[in-house]
Amino acid sequence: MKLGNYELNGSAALAPMAGVTDRAFREICIEYGASYVTSEMISAKGLTMGDRKSGFLMTIGEKEMPASVQIFGCEPQTMAEAAKMVEQTGCIAVDINMGCPAPKVAGHGGGAALMKNPDLASEIADACVNAVDIPVTCKIRSGWDDDSINAVELAKKLEQAGASAITVHGRTRKQMYAPPVNYGIIRKVKEAISIPVIGNGDVTDIRSAEFMLKETGCDHLMIGRGALGAPWVFAHINNYFRTGESAPEPCVEERMAVMIKHISLLCEYKGDYVGMREARKHAGWYIKGMRGAASFRREIGELETMDQLKRLAERVIESAEEYYREGIE
């Protein structure tokens, strides 16, 4: 797939996730073959008003390219001004959030609330497209609720406004992240417009990636929660679509090594205090499904230093080795 004039390598991109897709995680996912990564959503109003946190969220490093920066808001002019600021980062695209279901975003007219106002959504897209030279993409949902499935109508308006690609999360705002995913609406959007359509929703592995492509005919995939504690999912999907073969899951030692590298980057970019506290959720995702994971969770909740994390990783590895020896005996 091409995003504007940029040729993407790989089959799946990293979805924007607040509190998760920061610089450290984006770098790890690029290393494992994500076609591109997207920042956490950033308030357009915050950017234009010089908010320090918003500016920090917009920071893009060389090791995470190609990257897209996502902004949210409901005022066309403010969004356009923010898009210009985003363009200065050197990212490959500006993404407009039209799907966030969080009350603090949708409740103020941004995110998924734009699904209820297609004219305003297209006005915002038009303003951003005319403000920058890089591609503008939009991330939408199937609709606000089951009685207002309007992704096709909105997608057509966004294409007319000049959007370069549209990501469709196959759920309504009311569903939040609960099953099921509406693959049919993603297919209808794909059939209705000529720009690339990116399928999003419950893509967690090779099987679900293949199913999404088959059911929707979409041009590309976007993975969110499926990458939590498993950034190698991008490499597995790329390898399968390239060779037809399924790669084995990484061993416990590799999983722990990736976890330590990831959290080391977190601490480098955010400082030890913030980095180690954010590390707790990531460590929980990295050990999910492993032997003894439940007993390790209390320890994870008290992590404060990299030394503690490394000792935890050693015990996780030892637990797995013990389980393996018991199986042989």
50 is written with which tokens? 């010089």
Residues 285, 17, 236: CA angle, nearest 5 degrees: 55
| Domain extent listing, the chain | 2-243, 252-328
pLDDT band for position 3 (50/70/90)?
very high
- The stretch 47-63 carries a mean pLDDT of 94
Judge if 2-243 and 252-328 fold alike in CATH terms.
no
Nearest partner of 212 among 183, 234, 185, 182, judged by Cα: 183
Element (H, E) at 239: helix 233-243
- The stretch 20-24 carries a mean pLDDT of 97
pLDDT of residue 94 exceeding 70, the answer is yes
Give the architecture (CATH level 2) of 252-328.
Orthogonal Bundle (1.10)
pTM: 0.94
**Residue scoring higher pLDDT (328 or 137):** 137
Type of residue at 317: I
Structure-derived torsion over alpha carbons of residues 8, 231, 167, 50, reported in degrees to the nearest 10: -90
Computed from CA positions of residues 306, 299, 317, 294, in that sequence, does the dihedral angle turn out positive or negative?
Answer: negative
Pick the CATH number of 2-243 from 3.50.50.60, 3.40.190.80, 3.20.20.70, 3.40.50.150: 3.20.20.70
Catalytic positions, written as ranges: 100
Sequence length of the chain is 329
Q: How far apart are CA 100 and CA 179, in angstroms?
A: 16
- Residue 62: count other Cβ atoms within 10 Å of its Cβ: 8
